[in-house]
Amino acid sequence: MFTCTGYASTSAEAPLSPFTFERRDPGASDIEIEILYCGVCHSDLHTARNEWGGTLYPCVPGHEIVGRVTRVGADVSAFKAGDLAGVGCMVASCRECDSCREGLEQYCVPGFTGTYNGPEPQTGGHTFGGYSSHIVVDSHFVLHIPENLDLAAVAPLLCAGITTYSPLRHWGVKAGQKVGVVGLGGLGHMGVKLAHAMGAHVVLFTTSPGKEADARRLGASEVVISKDPGAMAAQGETFDFILDTVAADHDINAYLGLLKREGTLVQVGAPEKPLAVNAFSVIWRRRNFSGSLIGGIAETQEMLDFCAEHGITSDIEIIPIDQIETAYGRMLKSDVKYRFVIDMASLPKAA
């Protein structure tokens, strides 16, 4: 074991604060990474405050991790000390079920192990995430980070990037298609960038007229104010694919009605309350309403390579770690364009 520093919550009510803890030394198949940057995801806030239930305290959040390899196990050949490396939302899976064998570890039947707040059999404790100085991860779940991209801005790709890339890739979005993206936040801005890079004609749906210029800068060809019935009606039955990133209650039928026959709407935002789907919204044109999680390890690497080829990163604001609670408050107000990233050099050193 070796000593790490980090930031942790000790209860649902306690703000995150400095925390010293032990990590396992790398085993034969493990990689140790010194963390340089860690993105801030809504999931971090939900978990730290136990809003989804089941939080294991102390909780060290963070699953958008970019750093450099410091040690590798004897059986590791794909990485060496000094390499750039990344870790996303999962650090283990059963590796045996159909999903795992097909490279879809995110759909592991027994369930994947989260980068934080999951069981860690090697220690008998639970996993601690990227708001920390180092992390040790099985090499299968470690990703190669492209050298040509801004490292801080790469970090959110490991959650927000793959969450939007995976459905675009799975449903075969390609040049010439008309693709809608609902919402321009941490997920939505990545959806716009990626769909545009795939050659699609991208339409951004937003309730905020003030976001039009930014949406066009990110790659949207059109911006539709979703509160305008006339503007929505003008888009009727013209979309091949719609990516819905909104995590608040909204009228999903208004967007299903914009799909062509056999078009697909994929939900990646997770509203607190169930969405009410009118059966005729899908029956009438044999439309598809689906959902998608993150991607598997191979697909996440593919996404990173795609982003390297096209020069895509997340739009970020870098913060020191002692500003994390302020960042959480601003995140709840959507006061960030479009993801916070912690500079881990700001982490207090071990005494």
Residue 222 identity:
E
Two structure tokens written together for 273: 């309350």
User: Rounded distance, CA 50 to CA 59, Å?
Assistant: 10
Phi and psi angles of residue 239, each rounded to the nearest 5 degrees, phi first: -100, 140
Pairing between β-strand 201-206 and β-strand 30-39 as defined by DSSP bridges: unpaired
Arithmetic mean of pLDDT over the chain: 96
The whole-model pTM stands at 0.96
Query: Which pLDDT score is estimated for 351?
Result: 61
User: Rounded distance, CA 313 to CA 298, Å?
Assistant: 19
User: Rounded distance, CA 166 to CA 183, Å?
Assistant: 17
* Spans in the chain with pLDDT lower than 50: none
Query: Which pLDDT score is estimated for 272?
Result: 86
List Cα–Cα distances, 28 to 1, 22, 39, 123, 190, in angstroms. Answer: 14, 19, 28, 15, 36
User: Rounded distance, CA 24 to CA 124, Å?
Assistant: 11
Residue 6 bridge partners (DSSP): 19, 132
